Structure 1
Amino acid sequence: MIYDKHNLYLDRVRNRFEKLYDKEVAEKCLRRFKMLVGRYELGVYSHPNPEMWNEKTSYIITYGDSILEENKRPLKTLKKFLDEYAIDKISHVHILPFFPYSSDDGFSVIHYRQINPELGSWSDIKDIGEQFSLMYDLVLNHVSRKSKWFTDFDEGIMPAKKFFISVEKNADLSTVTRPRNLPLLTKVTCKEGEKYLWTTFSEDQIDLNYSNPDLLFEMLDVLLYYIYMGAKSIRLDAIAYLWKKIGTSCVHLLETHEVVKLMRDLLDLVAPDVTIITETNVPQKDNFSYFGEGDEAHMVYQFPLPPLTVHTLQCGDSKALMKWAASLEKIPPKTTFFNFLSSHDGIGVVPATGLLSPEEIDKMIQTVITHKGLISYKANSNGTNSPYEMNVNFLDAISHPDENIDLRAKKMLSAQFILLSFIGVPAIYIHSLLGSVNDLEGVKKTGRNRSINREKLDYSKVVEALNNPESLRSKIFSGIIKLLEIRQQHKAFSTESEQKILNIHSAVFSLVRSCPEEEITALNNISDKEVSISIADFKGTDLISGQEIGHEIKLNPYQYMWIKK
């Protein structure tokens, strides 16, 4: 049985390599793949994939140094915070890149297998993993200009000499999709002379050449190393741009999908309990394509959810959100959505294209600007620029900084209720969990828009705020934790449970989550006015307040209910 399964996987892998390279190279790659499989002693599993997620699964997204204490390694402080406030409430921790880096707050990696000594050590990561499942970033589109790979390239040393993409200065790159308003090529002077290298995101982040199988195997090796070092989820950063072909858009190419599928094959063979999550901040159809036929990513980021939720709370109108939710197609078995409202990046504008009108998008952007947020732009192939993301803390996106604390907390919890009601796995950014606001001083200090929601918090001040029930942080944190604790107790919120969208009232977000054991109706007044609704033959108990609910229901502004029938 094990032998047959092993051969089945190898046949599949051979086909992957043949789609990436010619047959002779593919056979060599297959032999290398066989050697790679046993290198980390992860073993070949013969049992079916375990249950990977359920109603108890949730993620917190954080940098290793989001919370700081004086004279203490940040990863130890993070563990202290998590142990005190998150055990039995949050199951997974996504620690954003914790490797040595040169720019972009960790996403320009210098060394893939080392821990940034300013954060701590691998033993600190392991300590956090004793209580939480861990998610690591595989930053595989590009590498730091200060990495050894690039210095070897600079000196003409193999194999790194061929790890990067050199392009003629005057090459026609007009069809290439650009996620940033920056030059695509960066001029470098190396031992072999002047070259123009592909740099999708910045001149410090040099794109890697996956048409070279040596580079691909380096990354497969890094992938297995992360799993060996405790990763239970792997986030494939900026995966959409991985493979380059001049004359194409260089985004979502067939070869890119084959690389993701190859990684999935590898994990299915040696570590079937590890989740692959693709990060593709693009329109929905392209985003969902990374599910493949159930043979690619286990989860994809639900990128339309953040801008649609912002629009919903800003306007007090749920129609666009509910229409989108009702349109979601059935996804392959053993896959699910990675639901989030905010992260270390901005709130994407592109995923809202086609779901909100241009006028609605512009109004949302202008409201964010009024709330002291910022806007980042991307370059289009026709030479114009368009909004790419809204750089703002989520709390400030949906409420004005001058509004009173109680109102701001209600709006934030209303948004988080939406997140926690949807089918899929919820992920909460640490600054949303803690009710942080725009860090405009951070933007001034770094000159980068994204610093607005990457503030480094003082541990003692955070604890002081959480211990004060009248503080904004405490109201938001305690409210989210309460919702998480309720959610964990009900199988209706499992990723395997059904979801049915209701259309009761334009000011009410409403859906039903159900499984054979129970049915829960989610109702959320997302407006600043009282709303009365009627549901025929309806009766149940609100899991949040404990009140018995009948068919006539009154919802106060920003009030939400999970009603179990």
Structure 2
Amino acid sequence: MDSVLNTASAQLAGQLENHLQTIYPAIEAEAITQLVSDLISIMRLGSVEQVPVPYQNHWSQQDVIMITYGDSLYRADERAMTTLHRFLNEQCDGVINGVHVLPFFPYSSDDGFAVSDYYAVRESVGEWQDIQRLSAEYRLMSDLVINHGSGESEWFQNFIKGEGPGHDYFFTASPDEDLSDVVRPRTSPLLREVQTSVGLQYVWCTFSHDQVDFDFRNIEVLKEFVNIVRFYLDQGVNIFRLDAVAFLWKEAGSRCLNLEQTHEVVRLLRVLIEYASPSAMIITETNIPSRENLSYFGNANEAHCVYNFSLPPLLLHALITGQNFYLKQWMMSMPPAQDGTAFFNFIASHDGIGLRPVEGILPDSEVDLMIATMQDFGGHVSWRALDNGEQKPYEINIALFDALQGTVKGKDGLGEARFLCAHNIMLALEGIPGLYLHSLLGTRNDYERVKRTGHFRSINRHQWDYSELEQLLADETTHHHRVFKGIKRMIAIRAKQKAFHPNATQFTLHLGTQVFGFWRQSVDRIQNIFCLNNISAEPVALSLSDLNLISTQDWSDLLSGERYDDLQGSIELAPYQSVWLSNR
């Protein structure tokens, strides 16, 4: 046993040393050795029993992660996290087994993404015991807001004073440096002037001026975040969402996006997390063009999952135009995720519908058409600055239920069918589904919240009174009831199908412009499911012979229960109808 322990420990130390030498090439060997020792000590990995097994899938078709703020549901008589836990246990019927609780820490802006204390739970949400209780029953995803911290935090106040914890954690630059190539998702100035104890300094703010970027050139910043990871693991966190990680490393004269040191930091964190908790996962939040996003898989040695950021805008475009060309073209270009990695599929989130992920996929004219349609449906547009001073649309801010209330021709009476079709597609695709709470509930645009906060993203961040929500979900006449019931039914069916494993085979079908179809096959090649989706407002007749179904097998629709014995016949698809045609 001692030799096994020594081998595993030696391999861990060797991996950490290699990553650190790449991140910090100027640091002397002795200092790297000490840093390795420090990281192992922080993560409590002094005696490692085994080396993590590579290419392991820590997920199955039964996994669905609900995305929500900790206080999206509230009751006057209990903490918000208790109410969230109640909703999952009482209303979700066991169909949800994971939950991403968006930043539940004290913060100063951006609804939690300007963290002022990484080691505390916001009082309005609950306390660490609530987090621990939730993680005992559900797989828990937490944000690691790793790129920036609050301008009102104790760390930043110490930066201003020039002493105390965090005083050297923040990135500074000179306005005289060449920063013309820096890629940013905002229009505010990149550098913020700050009077400090040593004079005027310019801190780097990729996002808002209240979100000041950390300086990972300082090894103390790396050690601090490794300590935060260890602390979160102790609280029951199983999935780490690395927020805005693509911007982590900065170098003047570069784009300051996706730099090699950034990838190396992700690899380092994966090593530490896998040794500490073999079933824990990393998911990178990189709202950037598709090819760049996929790079965070590495060679199955970086993120376990990457957000499938191109899916929301492309699926929205397909459903409002009734044409699948761009969605299908993109899907055919997507490489299958190798074992040990998976796509994280979502079609709505607390942020808007990002437009950067369709750069090079959707022509500008189609993006403009989509934007105009969403504005007609009550949505807003957020912008980003280009290096030439111009602005470009960055994301559309709208609740998904409202986004799908019509087509480019205007609103119609097919919104619910279109909305459910979108979720049928998302749940059937290769990958792990992430389901935003407000999509599950069919929440509408919250104009009052936008007015109150002054931020467009608030349109899709409604807070529900739990008693009111219970009444709506119980009332069969409401769209909330119908949507909630319909999506839960899809999830329950999905969980039983081996062909819907996140890594099961997927091929795109060519069935005309109105039918978006794809074929899934289980890893053992026993189950086949043909996922057929009419994405148009017109009925479509589809010939079964086009699918080349094996005639000796029994075929039926998992969603409707209808059997198909005549394989030379046809399927009549109503507007926005989905069929999961399975041989088992």
TM-score bracket for this pair, using the shorter chain length: over 0.9
Match for residue 418 of structure 2 among 411, 426, 448: 411
Aligned-residue offset at 1:285: 0.7
Amino acid at match of 1:71: D
Distance 1:92 1:25, change over 3 A: farther
Distance 1:244 1:119, change over 3 A: same
Aligned-residue offset at 1:492: 0.5
Q: Which runs of 5+ in 1 are unaligned?
A: none
Aligned-residue offset at 1:145: 1.1
**Conservation of the 8 A alpha-carbon contact between 2:43 and 2:272:** no
**Conservation of the 8 A alpha-carbon contact between 1:159 and 1:214:** no
2:557 corresponds to which residue?
542
Partners of 1:231 and 1:474 in 2: CA distance: 31
Partners of 1:12 and 1:451 in 2: CA distance: 43
Where do residues 88-99 of structure 1 align in structure 2 (5 Å cutoff)? Answer: 88-99=94-105
Match for residue 556 of structure 1 among 563, 574, 577: 574
Match for residue 15 of structure 1 among 18, 23, 36: 18
Q: Please state whether the residue corresponding to 1:250 is helix, strand or coil.
A: coil
Aligned-residue offset at 1:403: 5.1
Q: Please state whether the residue corresponding to 1:450 is helix, strand or coil.
A: helix
**Conservation of the 8 A alpha-carbon contact between 2:267 and 2:302:** yes
**Conservation of the 8 A alpha-carbon contact between 2:57 and 2:339:** no
1:426 corresponds to which residue?
433
**Conservation of the 8 A alpha-carbon contact between 2:71 and 2:124:** no
Aligned-residue offset at 1:23: 5.6
Is residue 44 from structure 1 mapped to residue 48 from structure 2 by the alignment?
yes
Where do residues 269-280 of structure 1 align in structure 2 (5 Å cutoff)? Answer: 269-280=275-286
Amino acid at match of 2:571: I
2:491 corresponds to which residue?
484
Q: Please state whether the residue corresponding to 1:160 is helix, strand or coil.
A: coil
Partners of 1:457 and 1:477 in 2: CA distance: 15
Match for residue 249 of structure 2 among 243, 249, 252: 243
Is residue 3 from structure 1 mapped to residue 3 from structure 2 by the alignment?
no
Amino acid at match of 2:578: Y
Where do residues 113-192 of structure 1 align in structure 2 (5 Å cutoff)? Answer: 113-157=119-163, 160-192=166-198
Partners of 1:555 and 1:413 in 2: CA distance: 14
Partners of 1:139 and 1:132 in 2: CA distance: 21
Partners of 2:73 and 2:257 in 1: CA distance: 35
Amino acid at match of 2:575: P
- Residue-by-residue CA offset, 1:293-327 (whole Å, 9 max, x unaligned): 11100000000000001001101111211111111
Amino acid at match of 1:238: A
Identity %: 39
**Conservation of the 8 A alpha-carbon contact between 1:257 and 1:296:** yes
Please identify, of 433-442 and 43-52, the stretch whose mean Cα deviation from structure 2 is larger: 43-52
Amino acid at match of 2:172: S
Partners of 2:100 and 2:28 in 1: CA distance: 36
Where do residues 165-564 of structure 1 align in structure 2 (5 Å cutoff)? Answer: 165-400=171-406, 407-515=414-522, 516-536=525-545, 537-538=548-549, 540-549=555-564, 550-551=566-567, 552-564=570-582
Aligned-residue offset at 1:517: 2.6
**Conservation of the 8 A alpha-carbon contact between 1:391 and 1:453:** yes
Aligned-residue offset at 1:36: 3.5
Partners of 1:45 and 1:63 in 2: CA distance: 37
Partners of 1:61 and 1:30 in 2: CA distance: 40
Aligned-residue offset at 1:426: 0.3
Partners of 1:389 and 1:419 in 2: CA distance: 20
Match for residue 102 of structure 1 among 100, 108, 119: 108
Aligned-residue offset at 1:34: 3.0
Please identify, of 56-65 and 168-177, the stretch whose mean Cα deviation from structure 2 is larger: 168-177
Per the normalisation by structure 2, the TM-score is 0.94
Q: Please state whether the residue corresponding to 1:187 is helix, strand or coil.
A: strand
**Conservation of the 8 A alpha-carbon contact between 2:68 and 2:100:** yes
Partners of 1:334 and 1:265 in 2: CA distance: 13
Distance 1:284 1:268, change over 3 A: same
Aligned-residue offset at 1:555: 0.4
Partners of 1:269 and 1:26 in 2: CA distance: 23
Amino acid at match of 1:460: S
Per the normalisation by structure 1, the TM-score is 0.97
Partners of 1:470 and 1:303 in 2: CA distance: 34
Distance 1:287 1:11, change over 3 A: same
**Conservation of the 8 A alpha-carbon contact between 1:6 and 1:269:** no
Partners of 2:10 and 2:138 in 1: CA distance: 34
Aligned-residue offset at 1:525: 0.7
Q: Which runs of 5+ in 2 are unaligned?
A: none
- Residue-by-residue CA offset, 1:206-225 (whole Å, 9 max, x unaligned): 11000010111101111111
Partners of 2:29 and 2:437 in 1: CA distance: 43
Partners of 1:78 and 1:522 in 2: CA distance: 33
Is residue 76 from structure 1 mapped to residue 82 from structure 2 by the alignment?
yes
Distance 1:114 1:29, change over 3 A: farther
Aligned-residue offset at 1:389: 0.2
Partners of 1:500 and 1:493 in 2: CA distance: 13
- Residue-by-residue CA offset, 1:382-434 (whole Å, 9 max, x unaligned): 11100000000111112149957x72211110000110011000001001110
Distance 1:310 1:27, change over 3 A: farther
Amino acid at match of 1:556: A
Q: Please state whether the residue corresponding to 2:35 is helix, strand or coil.
A: helix
- Residue-by-residue CA offset, 1:6-58 (whole Å, 9 max, x unaligned): 22222121111111113644542443333443445576352636641010011
Aligned-residue offset at 1:483: 0.5
Q: Please state whether the residue corresponding to 2:314 is helix, strand or coil.
A: helix
**Conservation of the 8 A alpha-carbon contact between 1:75 and 1:125:** yes
Give the alignment's Cα RMSD to 1 decimal: 1.7
Distance 1:195 1:308, change over 3 A: same
**Conservation of the 8 A alpha-carbon contact between 1:498 and 1:513:** yes
Partners of 1:544 and 1:331 in 2: CA distance: 27
Distance 1:29 1:231, change over 3 A: farther
Tell me the matched-pair count: 564
Q: Please state whether the residue corresponding to 1:541 is helix, strand or coil.
A: strand
Partners of 1:223 and 1:29 in 2: CA distance: 20
**Conservation of the 8 A alpha-carbon contact between 1:45 and 1:272:** no
**Conservation of the 8 A alpha-carbon contact between 1:40 and 1:228:** no
Partners of 1:48 and 1:160 in 2: CA distance: 36
